[in-house]
A and B are shown apart, each in its own frame.
Chain A
Amino acid sequence: MNPNQNIQEKKEPIISKKFILEIKDLKKTFGNNHVLNGFNLELFEGENLVIMGKSGSGKSVMIKCLVGLMQPDSGSIKVMGKDITTLNRIDLDELRTDIGFLFQGSALYDSMTVRENLEFPLRRHKHKFGNISDTAPLVIEALESVGLVDAIDLMPAELSGGMQRRVALARTLILKPKIILYDEPTSGLDPITAKEIIELMKRIRRQYKTSSLIITHDVDCARVVSERMILLVDGINYAEGTFSELKASKDEKVKAFFK
């Protein structure tokens, strides 16, 4: 029996019926390449939604539009009721403190120690914690939640790939976000470390009560963490449902994802 099976069975029903994230008719074109062709998405509060798609299907573009790193050509992206395509810089930065983003390559600041990496997002957003002068307890708390307190004074180059991913997750958690976006959280990791990261994602969801949008190629990861899945093909929602529903699909394109 697969150990991940147990984890899936223990899912806690913490999803509400309230949208925390809503994307409508999102379109993005680069030259003649239509990457997103009217993509739609709704993420409920407390939900883990997995998006799967082939390389070049528009997943990364979509997630970058979602945090304002890219401007879509048309469509709306509402995060907690606010359309981020119309927000000014200050409001967008404020909203971003509620959105955590785990980058595929961890994206740790390599000239800073682990402690400085975690303190960095707090520099401009201490007001979220009542303008505290000592940020050490927050840093320790975030590192404890990923089990890496001992690495606090190490440089990113001194960490393994899995440890870097966990520190990046701790940095994401430091501002106590309501939504976490995971961009290929297990890519480039060995199966054991990948399993640890998946476990961590589940634990963090329980501990921080976050909603998660997970982009992945990893079918195991999708099976364990998803409550709902969207298959992205040619920039549109090709199929939607639970993992088992999609796995049972007779559609050739859908079946290709699970081979």
Chain B
Amino acid sequence: MLKSIIIKTFLIEIGELAYFARRFFKELFKKPFEFKELLRQCYSIGNKSLLLVGVTGFIIGLVITLQTRPTLEEFGAESWMPSMVSISIIREIGPVIIALTFAGRIASGIGAELGSMRVTEQIDAMEVSGTNPFKYLVVTRILAATLMLPILVILGDAIALYGSFIIENTKGEVSFQLFFNKVFNALEFGDLIPATIKTYFFGFAIGLVGCFKGYYCEKGTVGVGLAANSAVVFSSMLLFIIDFIAVFVTDIFFEI
């Protein structure tokens, strides 16, 4: 009985989210366009996550290199380190981990912000003043998250590779030029393009879920906390589903 209720609630949630996404695409191409607010959101979302993404990327690079190096050394294959690290960071670890930290920061932020606007009737106030709050609040935030995450992932990947280079340089005395020569020799467009494309979907999912949870927030201030919390949980779960689909599709087209 409880199981069927949980499944039913989950399916209803998915259905409502799909309807919300449909509304986003419908409103996206309708005038008036909120360019100023979009730019403000891009700056706010991108800038807010910059430090977090930088630190996360740097630590990913350090940790992967430190953890992998002893194993490669055992087989005398430490010269493969730049290729191995770059492929794993660019293809999978960079996008997924940076997207997860982005979800923690942005989905919860959007969920809480829109949720508190909902419970304090600010969204209703926009509506009755003849402004479309969905366009002003939701479309701009989803679009900003979609556009900003790929840029942040590229930046995070670069910082992660730099972190990896620092370890390689310290332990293996590899020069900057040699390290990055090996990195670029190992990477192909087949690694970079699908990884970048999937980050647009990650960004879209994070923005969509954050806005969805906040926009339909209920139950007063308790609801705001719940909206922020469930936005992170739901968007993180969605990231893994999208990642699986992306890897599956990439495997068909690029034969990884």
**Residues of chain A whose beta carbon lies under 8 Å from any beta carbon of chain B:** 64, 67-69, 89, 93-94, 96-97, 99, 101, 103-105, 107-110, 120-121, 123-125, 171, 175
Contact = CB atoms under 8 A, between A and B. Distances in A.
Contact of B122 (A69, A107, A124): A107
11 contacts: A64-B124, A68-B128, A97-B130, A101-B128, A104-B121, A107-B124, A107-B125, A110-B122, A120-B131, A121-B131, A175-B129
Contacts of A96: 127-130
Contact of B120 (A99, A105, A124): A105
A37 B32 CA distance: 39
Among B32, B126, B130, B132, max chain A CB count under 10 A is at: B130
Given A97-B129, A121-B129, 15 more contacts: A68-B127, A69-B124, A69-B127, A93-B131, A96-B127, A96-B128, A101-B125, A101-B128, A103-B124, A107-B121, A107-B125, A109-B125, A120-B126, A123-B131, A175-B130
A70 B227 CA distance: 22
Contacts of B126: 109, 120
Contacts of A99: 128
A103 to B, nearest CB: 5
Contacts of B129: 96-97, 120-121, 171, 175
Nearest to B44: A111
Interface of B: 32, 117, 120-122, 124-132
Contact of A94 (B32, B122, B130): B130
A128 B127 CA distance: 18
Nearest to B129: A121
Nearest to B116: A110
Among B122, B125, B126, B132, max chain A CB count under 10 A is at: B125
Contacts of A97: 129-130
B130 A103 contact: no
Contacts of A69: 124, 127-128
Contacts of B128: 67-69, 96, 99, 101
Contacts of B130: 93-94, 96-97, 121, 124-125, 175
A70 B92 CA distance: 46
Contacts, number: 56
A71 to B, nearest CB: 13
A94 B132 CA distance: 12
Contacts of B127: 67-69, 96
Majority-rule SS of A interface residues: loop
Nearest to B113: A111
Among B121, B128, B132, max chain A CB count under 10 A is at: B128
Among A103, A104, A107, A120, max chain B CB count under 10 A is at: A107
A93 B136 CA distance: 14
Among B32, B122, B126, B127, max chain A CB count under 10 A is at: B122
10 closest pairs, A vs B, by CB? A121-B129, A107-B125, A93-B130, A107-B121, A101-B128, A96-B130, A67-B128, A103-B121, A97-B130, A107-B122
Contacts of B131: 93, 120-121, 123-124
A121 B133 CA distance: 11
A11 B5 CA distance: 59
Contacts of A109: 117, 122, 125-126
Contacts of A64: 124
B136 to A, nearest CB: 9
A156 to B, nearest CB: 10
A215 B153 CA distance: 52
Contacts of A120: 126, 129, 131
Contacts of B122: 107-110
Contacts of B125: 101, 103, 107-109, 171
Nearest to B37: A123
Nearest to A174: B129
A93 B126 CA distance: 10
A67 B131 CA distance: 13
Given A109-B125, A124-B32, A93 B120 contact: no
Contacts of B124: 64, 69, 103, 107
A80 to B, nearest CB: 15
A166 B122 CA distance: 16
